[in-house]
Every structure is written in C-alpha cells, then in structure tokens.
Amino acid sequence: MTIDTLAEIDRELDAHPLDVALHRRMVDALRAANDEIGLLAFRVAVETFDDIAAGANCSLAIPLYNLATVLYLRGRPADALRWYQHALGVDPNLAIVHQNLAAVLDALGRNEDAQVHRTRAYTLQRVYVEPAEHAPRRVLVLCAGRATGNTPFDMLLPLGATYRIKYAIDCADEAEDRRLPPFDIVFNAIGEPDVAHVLRPRLERFAAQCGRPVLNRPDRIARTRRHQLPELLAGLDDVAVAPCLLLTQLPASADALDAALAEAGIALPVLTRPLASHGGEGLTLHTTRESLWHTVEALNGHCYLTAFIDFQSDDRHFRKYRTIFVDRKPYPYHLAIGPHWMVHYVSAGMDVQWKIDEERRFLEDTGAALGARVANALAAIGARLDLDYGGIDYTLLPDGRVLVFEANATMLIHGEPANSPIAHKNAFAQRIVAAFEQLQAERTQARQA
C-alpha cells in the first residue's frame, strides 16, 4: 500500500473518525508501511471499538482517546493532539481527554492552551483512577488542577505498573476527601513551592486527616521557595546560594526597587524570573538598571530577583548538574554543558563525545568526578531539604563550593530512546525510580507493622 493511500485513509478518518472500517484499513496500511507505533495505536482503537460493539459501556470517544494515548506515550505528541481533538469532537465533556490533551499541549510548548484544558478537566472531574493489575499498592497522587507545578510523576509512578488515583485537590471541597477510593499511601505531587504555598492550609489538613503515609509533606515543600533557599541551606559547608528577593507587587519607583535590592544584598547583574516558573521560562539577565526596571514593570512586580553569579568554567563552557534526592539520599541524574549561561540539557548539544564522557563520569561516581567536598555537600543538602523526592540544579564555583540554582520537588527525570547516544543515562534514571519504589514499600510496610 502506497504512502498516498495512507494519506488518503488519513483524510477520510479526519472526516469520519468513528468509521471502524476506516480504522481497520489504517491498521492494514500501517502494517504494510512497517509503522509499528501507528499500527499499535490503531489496533488498540479497533479493539476498543470491538469491545463497545460487544456491549462495553463506555463513550464512543474512548477508542479515539486510547489511540491518542498510545501515540503520546510512544513519543508522537503531534499525532496524539489530533486524535484527542477528534475524541473531544465526539464527547466534549470527557474529562480524561481534556486532562491528557493538556499534557500533550504542554509537551508541545503550548502552555496557555494546556491550562484551558486542564482547568476544564478538573472542573468536570477531580478524581482519576488509573488501575494497574498486580500493582503492589494504591497511590493517591495529590495534584493541582488550576495551576502547573506538579512533580512529573509519570516516571516515578509508571502507568500500568502503579495503581494511581490522581486527585485535583485544589478543585475539590473537603467533603470530597471523604469519598475517595481506598488508597495505601499519598504522594504530594504539588511540588512547585509558589503553588504549594497558596494551598498549604488545605494540603496540611488533608495530610493530618487522611490516615496514610504522606510523601513530600506540605511544610517541606513550602520551605523551598527561591527566596527562602539561602536561609534554608545556610551554614552548610561548601554550599553557596545567591541572594534572592521575592516581589509580590510593583515597587513605587525604580528608586524604591534599588533600595529593596540593596537591602537584600543584591547588585547588578540581576536575574528576573516570573513566579512558579521553571525551565528558564521568562528568565532574563539584566546588566542595567533601566532594563531591570522595565522587566519588573512588565511583570507587574510579581517575580523573583536573584543576584547573577558568573559560573563559566575555564574552558568557557557553563555546567549545570542535576542531582535527585530520594528519601534524602543523592542520586546523580544529568550534567548539561553549554556555551550560554542559561544552560539546558535539551539545547546544550550533549551528544558530543567529550560531553558524554564527562557526564558519564559524573553519573558513575560523583565523588570521584567532583571530589569528596562536593559529595559531602550534596549529602548535607539532601538532609537539610528533608524531602522524600526532590532535587537540585547546581554548578561548581572556582573555589570548589556548590552553587545551588534551585532546590525543590519539581525536578524532572525521564528516559531516553534506546538508540540515543545518551541512552546510558537510562540506567541512572532507573536507579532513582527503584529507590522511590523502595521508599513507598518501606513507608507502607511501616504503617502496617
């Protein structure tokens, strides 16, 4: 079957997404084209249509939802987007479609569109049960529905291997807490401290009353706001944190801003960052008073201001390390090496051999790669953060100290494709997942003992 025929079936499916015969034709076409991911996705859709025909009681949008979900989980978000949209065309009030579509839109960088669907999902439904046969326990995952800032838990609590009950607690009243399905342990996935700060009273009441172990208790998350980190990590040997000022309103004038910065011990250059943002979103560096004031005005004074410390290495590259803490123990996750101060792993060009080798040394033995002082400092940071799951992004200063950029519970980990030049990282990511599984087991067993 030719590519033209595949495209023809595709166009027909856009016009008639519920036509099962077209889906069967697409299965045959994808098999002939050796498209394994597409074949799997459309076979799942056909099987779901067959289940409905045999009497399964579910919406006709579910086959399209299943198709989209397979495509998304197999790394094809643009294709998934299209089929989630078809599913909503069939059933616009299917909450789980809105929820997954929000994740796809986030992955595609369309964050505002994602939030529209996330809000819609949690307005329709607050509890999402994702069962898994033979899962060792039922995990209640506390999420924020009205805001981003949830810990990326899909890697830590893999779909299909973990019985997950996702609960958008910020959209639910406390009466709904008492109607939750049974669960064995709670993972507070609201890891963004600016979001968690607002929800803290609600989260603390839930933690106190739920009667189950709670991982990442709300008070521990609340302490990791950027402007509180210098105080939180104060006194640790070989650890430095740049002074940071939280603005919650626009200063009366540029002079008033200057005075606030001086009182906080911050001088130019200065980094501005919107609240509750990560991944460099909205992060800007200012070397002049005028530029800084203009940006603070544009943000209406709702931002963090952080002293910029130049961390360029002797080889003129910038290095940003990430270490994850599970039950306070450090696990190296990645090292990004790039030519710009705003260094991110995805844009740093880490598929170069010398960078791969340097990162591998860091992953295999942090102490050997960075020295005992750094290893001891990381262990001390993990103990001071006191998180069940969290992490830090950091670099090394010329004097050997660890300069902490951020430390919180939203740190991302994920797998790499098996054929990737950095696929060696997967073993280290799986160490983190295994440690988190062990932590869950210990906490649930301790309660049952």
Q: Please state which of the four CATH numbers 3.40.50.9100, 3.40.1170.60, 3.30.1490.20, 3.40.1400.10 is assigned to the domain occupying 243-307.
A: 3.30.1490.20
Mean pLDDT of 410-423: 90
Phi, psi of 162 (to 5 degrees): -120, 130
Mean pLDDT of 224-247: 97
pLDDT greater than 70 at residue 2 = no
pLDDT category of residue 112 using cuts at 50, 70 and 90: confident
Question: Which stretches does DSSP call E strand in 70-183?
Answer: 127-130, 138-143, 163-168
pLDDT greater than 80 at residue 448 = no
CB burial readout 206-245, b (16+ within 10 A) else e = bbeebebbbbbbbebbbbbbbbbbbebbeebebbbbbbbb
Q: What is the pLDDT of residue 220?
A: 95
Q: What is the pLDDT of residue 160?
A: 85
Q: What is the pLDDT of residue 146?
A: 78
Q: What is the pLDDT of residue 3?
A: 55
How far apart are alpha carbons 55 and 52 in whole angstroms?
5
Q: What share of the chain is helix, strand, coil (3-state, %, to 5)?
A: 45, 20, 35
Q: What is the pLDDT of residue 413?
A: 93
pLDDT category of residue 152 using cuts at 50, 70 and 90: confident
pLDDT in tens, 194-220: 999 999 999 999 999 999 999 999 999
In this prediction the pTM is 0.84
- Give the closest residue to 424 by CA, choosing from 366, 373, 357: 357
HSE-CB of 199 using CA atoms within 13 angstroms: 31
Q: What is the pLDDT of residue 4?
A: 63
Q: What is the pLDDT of residue 449?
A: 60
Look at 40-54, 72-86, 136-150, 163-177 and tell me which has the smallest mean pLDDT: 136-150
Mean pLDDT of 349-354: 93
pLDDT category of residue 239 using cuts at 50, 70 and 90: very high
Given a contact cutoff of 8 angstroms between Cβ atoms, the answer to whether 439 and 390 are in contact is no
Say which residues have a Cβ less than 8 Å from residue 179's Cβ, sequence separation at least 6.
Answer: none
Q: Who wins on pLDDT, 278 or 377?
A: 377
User: Do 1-124 and 318-446 fold alike per CATH?
Assistant: no
DSSP state of 351: T
- Give domain 1-124's CATH superfamily: Tetratricopeptide repeat domain (1.25.40.10)
pLDDT in tens, 34-52: 999 999 999 999 999 999 9
Give the chain's end-to-end CA distance (angstroms, integer): 61
Mean pLDDT of the chain: 93
Neighbour-count burial of 178, counting CB atoms closer than 10 A to its CB (0-12 exposed, 13-18 middle, 19+ buried) = exposed
The percent of residues above 70 in pLDDT, for the chain, comes to: 98
Q: What is the pLDDT of residue 346?
A: 85
Domain range annotation of the chain: 1-124, 126-222, 243-307, 318-446
Mean pLDDT of 346-368: 94
| Partners of 270 in beta bridges | 286, 307
DSSP state of 169: G
pLDDT in tens, 392-415: 999 999 999 999 999 999 999 988
The string of DSSP codes covering 366-416 is HHHHH-HHHHHHHHHHHHHHT-SEEEEEEEE-TTS-EEEEEEES-------
CATH number of 318-446: 3.30.470.20
Q: What is the pLDDT of residue 111?
A: 83
Mean pLDDT of 382-399: 97
The string of DSSP codes covering 23-73 is HHHHHHHHHHTT-HHHHHHHHHHHHHHHHHHTT--S-TTHHHHHHHHHHHH
Neighbour-count burial of 310, counting CB atoms closer than 10 A to its CB (0-12 exposed, 13-18 middle, 19+ buried) = exposed
